[in-house]
Amino acid sequence: MLPVVAWIKSLSRRLCAKSPGSLPVGKTLKIVWRVTGSGDARFSATGPGSTVTPAWGPEPHGGSTFQYPGDEWGTGFAFPAPGCWTVHVTRDDMTGTLSLPIT
């Protein structure tokens, strides 16, 4: 499982540039999130021709050294095709996105 770390604060960013590392198709990526807002966090991702939900999670995380505002959650995503995938997160009072280049 490959780790990815994200921080979402009531803001959407759509940027999919070449990554210095590889985020491969079909491998489960563990993504750790700090998400502001209230209520449960809900996640999905859209990409080339499909929408996917997490392979696991979201799981609330307890204490951590990832010191940013918001609550910490963990998800695992396996993206089925190469391209730009946009992960969407919503809580009761916020939304955010993170785009990832999958090769």
**Model's pTM, two decimal places?**
0.80
- The amino acid at residue 73 is W
Give the domain ranges of the chain: 2-102
pLDDT in tens, 36-95: 889 999 999 999 999 999 999 999 987 777 777 888 888 999 999 999 999 999 999 888
- pLDDT grade, residue 15 (50/70/90)? very low
- pLDDT grade, residue 35 (50/70/90)? confident
- pLDDT grade, residue 30 (50/70/90)? confident
pLDDT reported for residue 32: 83
Structural contact between residues 62 and 54, judged by C-beta atoms closer than 8 angstroms:
no
Residues in CB range of 38: below 8 A, 6 or more apart: 91, 92, 93
pLDDT reported for residue 31: 85
Indicate if the pLDDT at residue 11 is higher than 70: no
Which is the CATH superfamily of the domain at 2-102? Immunoglobulins (2.60.40.10)
